[in-house]
Amino acid sequence: MAVSGLWGLARDSSMGNDEIATRYAALLSLRQLAHLLRNVDAVHGLYYLLMHGWVALGTSPAVLRVPSVISMTAAAALIVIIGRRLTGSAWAGLFAGLIMVLTPDITYFAQTARSYALVFLCVLCSTLALLRALEAEAGTGPGARISRWWLAYAALVTLGGYLNELSLLVLAAHAVTVLLARYGRRALVHWAAASAGVAVLVTPLLVISSREDRAVSWIARPHLSDLWALGHQYFGSTTAAALLVLLCAVAAVLPARGAPSQPPGGAAAATGAQPQAPWWRSGGVSLPSVAAPLLVLPGAILIAESLLARPFFVERYVLYSEAGAALLAGAGIYRIGRWLSGAADRRALLWVPGAVVCLSALLLQLGPQQLIRTPDSRLFDYGGPARYVGAHARYGDGVLFINTFFRKARLGYPQDFRKTSDFAMAVSPPQAGNFNGRNKPFVLIRPLMLEHRRIWVVGRMPSAQLASPPIRAESLVLEHHFALVTERQFRGIVVTLWLRR
């Protein structure tokens, strides 16, 4: 995971929309950051605060992404630990970790300066704490030991909630795991108490972020295509790779027949035992009872909520559910290996299916893995447009952002706009407490446009047909009084240069 994360990390120094927000917020003073969070992005406040300290090490895109690489690397190690703990096999844990590493979406967010990798790590840490707490409950350990693990569990879920409040959906998955374990009323009460404590601690963030719902007004209701995209996020970027990993995951949840092989140190299975009860009825904690709810429930709940109420469904908000897919796939691969080795009476065949599946997943997804490490992998490439303007601008040129959304290019790469004048801006982003600032009214912008001989337009191609009246008015001035000199297309952004007639 570390090698995968560091390979191509700089990505030609290009940053996407969210990464520019991270860099800008991290470089603000604490007073300015508090002003920003009172207006927008309170849900990312803790992450911005952590990055505020990190930028002391550097502010380049590669340095900003290192915390995500570290977090995803630690998460890969936890996948192996949890997989081994739940199956008793290091092979199952290793295969689960490799499936996670080979999933392109995992690499994508390992190389993104955003909180999703840290949330992924927190969810896995809280899951491991839950397993330790349930082990203590089942072993009727001392009360202090049980309380310690439940406190750790509550603290980790709370931390994940403050990194991204939608990580709290993991509580639904954990609730099913606790119920399937059937460890008695005391375990249920302890889990409920821990979850109630999480709810109380995260309530302030939920209240503040509910007042800033304009930041997610762009989210549409989910469609079947979103479900398809979610499946690719969990199982693989190509259809062939996704189907292969999905088949392995299905093998893990099939009911077992006969006596199960015991983990190291467990009691030997009695010969001639009756068919084993399916995992959802047998009680105790098993890999399917942990991984299947983690895979299914957070996404399903978010989709249902987005269909019935305010839409909040975006695939990356439930990225952590990919851990469930990786765990199931790893256990399924190990199970297939046991079938083969048992049929052929050769224990060496245990690892062969894993090698075949992992190698196939790697080869089938080389294209997506390579694309991730290019500027075109993000919805917007701000680095290319900024560098183009910086290389060709002259002192005294004006710059006009068609829609203030694209002013993030100047936030992320201020050195490339030092020769230009952002004449339309009335209030800067730090003063406005947002990422876009505020523009002057058009009646003040028009004479300033006519004072410039050359104007760079960043965002979209100016057109009189644009829906927003201010943008349409600015486009009319350009078309009537200026001539188009240059047009360059970048990922999601168009840069044009206009010369005064």
pLDDT digits (tens, 9 = 90+) for 366-397: 999 999 999 999 999 999 999 999 999 999 99
| Boundary (domain end) residue, out of 348, 376, 404 | 376
- pLDDT classification of 403: cutoffs 50, 70, 90: confident
d(CA 49, CA 37): 11
First CA to last CA across the chain, in angstroms? 56
Residues 327 and 425 in one domain: no
Q: Which residues contact 138 (CB under 8 A, 6 or more apart)?
A: 181, 183, 284, 285
d(CA 90, CA 92): 5
DSSP 421: E
Q: Is residue 88 part of a domain?
A: yes
Q: What is the mean predicted confidence (pLDDT) over 344-360?
A: 84
Q: Is residue 232 part of a domain?
A: yes
8 A C-beta contact, residue 487 and residue 459: no
- Decide: helix, strand or coil at residue 193: helix
Residues 301 and 319 in one domain: yes
Residues 331 and 428 in one domain: no
Residues 366 and 425 in one domain: no
Least confident span in 38-52, 185-199, 335-349 = 335-349
d(CA 398, CA 456): 6
Q: Over the stretch 112-136, which tens digit does the pLDDT of each residue have?
A: 999 999 999 999 999 999 999 999 9
Q: Given the structure tokens 């955003």, which residue do they identify?
A: 114
Q: Is residue 63 part of a domain?
A: yes
8 A C-beta contact, residue 50 and residue 113: no
Whether residue 267 has pLDDT greater than 80: no
438 pairs with which residues across the strands?
427
Average pLDDT of the chain to the nearest whole number: 92
d(CA 324, CA 234): 8
Residues 322 and 405 in one domain: no
Q: Is 474 left (phi over 0), alpha (psi -120 to 50) or beta?
A: alpha
d(CA 486, CA 259): 73
Percent of the chain with pLDDT over 90: 84
Q: Is residue 189 part of a domain?
A: yes
Residues 339 and 464 in one domain: no
Q: Greater confidence, 379 or 217?
A: 379
Whether residue 444 has pLDDT greater than 70: yes
Whether residue 141 has pLDDT greater than 60: no
User: In terms of residues, how long is the chain?
Assistant: 501
Whether residue 260 has pLDDT greater than 70: no
What residue type is 91 in one-letter code? W
pLDDT at 394: 97
pLDDT at 268: 38
- Decide: helix, strand or coil at residue 427: strand
8 A C-beta contact, residue 63 and residue 11: no
d(CA 421, CA 70): 39
Write phi, then psi, for 371 (nearest 5 degrees). -60, -35
Q: Is residue 267 part of a domain?
A: no
Convert 297-315 to b/e letters by CB count within 10 Å (16 or more is b): bbbbbbbebbeeeebbbbb
Q: What is the mean predicted confidence (pLDDT) over 285-302?
A: 97
| Boundary (domain end) residue, out of 320, 342, 376 | 376
Residues 301 and 395 in one domain: no
Residues 231 and 364 in one domain: yes
Q: What is the mean predicted confidence (pLDDT) over 260-267?
A: 41
Query: Token pair of 369, please?
Result: 């893995």
pLDDT at 105: 97
Question: Please, how many CA atoms are within 13 Å of residue 307, restricted to the half-sphere of its CB?
Answer: 11
Whether residue 348 has pLDDT greater than 90: no
H runs (alpha helix) in 309-351: 322-344
Strands ordered across the beta sheet of 482-490: 420-421, 397-401, 454-459, 493-500, 482-490
Q: What is the mean predicted confidence (pLDDT) over 172-187?
A: 95
Least confident span in 72-76, 88-92, 117-121, 142-146 = 142-146
Residues 355 and 409 in one domain: no
Question: Please, how many CA atoms are within 13 Å of residue 228, restricted to the half-sphere of its CB?
Answer: 5
Expressed as residue numbers, the domain containing 494 is 383-500
- pLDDT classification of 215: cutoffs 50, 70, 90: confident
d(CA 222, CA 244): 26
d(CA 103, CA 235): 7
Q: Is residue 215 part of a domain?
A: yes
Whether residue 360 has pLDDT greater than 50: yes
pLDDT at 462: 87
Q: Domain count of the chain?
A: 2
What is the four-CA torsion angle of 327, 329, 330, 334, rounded to 10 degrees? 140
Query: Token pair of 414, please?
Result: 């201020």
- Decide: helix, strand or coil at residue 162: helix
Q: Is residue 266 part of a domain?
A: no
Residues 482 and 345 in one domain: no
Whether residue 236 has pLDDT greater than 80: yes
354 CA to centre of own chain = 27
Question: Please, how many CA atoms are within 13 Å of residue 423, restricted to the half-sphere of its CB?
Answer: 23
Whether residue 262 has pLDDT greater than 80: no
H runs (alpha helix) in 164-212: 170-181, 185-210
| Boundary (domain end) residue, out of 318, 351, 376 | 376
Q: Greater confidence, 24 or 277?
A: 24
Q: Is residue 196 part of a domain?
A: yes
Whether residue 316 has pLDDT greater than 70: yes
Whether residue 493 has pLDDT greater than 60: yes
d(CA 434, CA 35): 9
8 A C-beta contact, residue 134 and residue 86: no
- Decide: helix, strand or coil at residue 400: strand
Q: Over the stretch 53-63, which tens digit does the pLDDT of each residue have?
A: 999 999 999 99
Q: Greater confidence, 191 or 466?
A: 191
Q: Over the stretch 244-254, which tens digit does the pLDDT of each residue have?
A: 999 999 999 99
Residues 215 and 279 in one domain: yes
Selection from 211, 213, 215 nearest residue 310 by Cα: 213
Q: What is the mean predicted confidence (pLDDT) over 416-439?
A: 96
Residues 165 and 187 in one domain: yes
